[in-house]
């Protein structure tokens, strides 16, 4: 998502927060996630005074977006499963969705399906192992293709799963694994995520505002700073050189 944002707003100062101490979100209860997201964004708002906040997580957005918008007096952009665009491009009408346990069970996703995929078949699968695989890939470690193939097979073996031609990547970690997922699913499958749309929304909400290219971007984490520094080369690609503990 940061890559898509940089295409539209290359000079915008960004504060990237990685709640490593709170992972994995998908295995937590709704109450735990809501409290953690609200608390984290509250602390960041007080410390950094951002003009806009983006919840770059499907699980957190489907659970806590409404609550956070009521509390913070800045625009809040959420990230929700890209069911609408997936439905528009699917030719077979059978769509797969890979997400966390918490995301796939949300009424928010039920509502998206009812509104945008009526008459289509949406097959959901919780694939928490893909989060760990994506984190490993970011650190330059080998990707476990057994985990990738298991996620693909889980969707394929569902009723009508062999007809899936579009897969929604309903976790912001999963697009990092798109090459591996393409290999696992085989030819003829399209992958959809919301990154480009979210970037356009942020650009729209900040249009006409001035950005000072000399203002440094930074990345902060709630977890181990030493572990976070293993991701420094990745952040550097997007103009983020400063890493701090939150």
SS3 55: coil
What is the crossing angle of helices 145-156 and 129-138, to 10°?
Answer: 140
- Marked catalytic residue, from 17, 63, 171, 199: 171
**Cα 217 from Cα 47, distance rounded (Å):** 14
Q: What is the pLDDT of residues 102-135, one digit of tens each?
A: 999 999 999 999 999 999 999 999 999 999 999 9
User: How confident is the model at residue 8, as a pLDDT?
Assistant: 95
Strand 190-192 with 166-169, pairing: parallel
Residue 54 is a catalytic residue? no
- Marked catalytic residue, from 15, 57, 86, 147: 57
Q: What is the pLDDT of residues 144-181, one digit of tens each?
A: 999 999 999 999 999 999 999 999 999 999 999 999 99
What is the crossing angle of helices 178-185 and 145-156, to 10°?
Answer: 50
Q: What is the pLDDT of residues 185-236, one digit of tens each?
A: 999 999 999 999 999 999 999 999 998 878 899 999 999 999 999 999 999 9
**Cα 78 from Cα 6, distance rounded (Å):** 18
Q: What is the pLDDT of residues 70-110, one digit of tens each?
A: 999 999 999 999 999 999 999 999 999 999 999 999 999 99
Tokens 């001035």, residue located: 210
**Cα 192 from Cα 26, distance rounded (Å):** 20
**Cα 213 from Cα 10, distance rounded (Å):** 8
Q: What is the pLDDT of residues 16-56, one digit of tens each?
A: 999 999 988 888 899 999 999 999 999 999 999 999 999 99
| Domains of the chain and CATH, by start | 2-79+196-245 (3.40.50.1860), 83-193 (3.40.50.1860)
The dihedral through the CA atoms of 53, 238, 25, 245 has a sign that is: negative
Q: Which two tokens stand for residue 24?
A: 């994995």
Model pTM score: 0.92
Backbone angles phi, psi at 9, to 5 degrees: -130, 70
Burial string for 10-34 (b: 16+ CB within 10 Å, else e) reads: eebbbbbbbbbebbebbebeeeebb
Q: How far is CA 77 from the centre of its chain?
A: 12
Q: Which two tokens stand for residue 91?
A: 């030719």
Tokens 């893909």, residue located: 130
């Amino acid at each position: 998502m940061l890559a898509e944002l940089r295409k539209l707003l290359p000079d915008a100062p960004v504060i990237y927060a990685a709640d490593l101490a709170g992972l994995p979100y998908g295995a937590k209860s709704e109450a735990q996630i809501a409290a953690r997201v609200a608390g984290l964004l509250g602390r960041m708002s007080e410390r950094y005074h951002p003009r806009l906040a983006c919840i770059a997580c499907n699980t957190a957005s489907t659970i806590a977006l409404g609550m956070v918008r009521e509390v913070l007096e800045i625009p809040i952009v959420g990230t929700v499963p890209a069911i609408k665009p997936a439905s528009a491009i699917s030719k077979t009408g059978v769509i797969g969705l890979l997400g966390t346990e918490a995301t796939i069970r949300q009424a928010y996703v039920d509502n998206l399906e009812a509104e945008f995929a009526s008459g289509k078949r949406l097959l959901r699968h919780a694939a928490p192992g893909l989060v760990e695989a994506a984190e490993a890939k970011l650190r330059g470690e080998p990707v476990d293709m057994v985990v990738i193939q298991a996620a693909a097979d889980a969707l394929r073996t569902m009723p009508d799963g062999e007809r899936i031609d579009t897969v929604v990547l309903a976790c912001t970690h999963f697009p990092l694994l798109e090459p591996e997922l393409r290999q696992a699913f085989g030819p003829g499958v399209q992958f959809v995520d919301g990154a480009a749309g979210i970037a356009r929304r942020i650009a729209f909400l900040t249009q006409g505002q001035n950005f000072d290219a000399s203002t440094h971007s930074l990345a902060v984490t709630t977890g181990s700073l030493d572990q976070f520094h293993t991701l420094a080369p990745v952040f550097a690609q997007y103009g983020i050189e400063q890493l701090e503990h939150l």
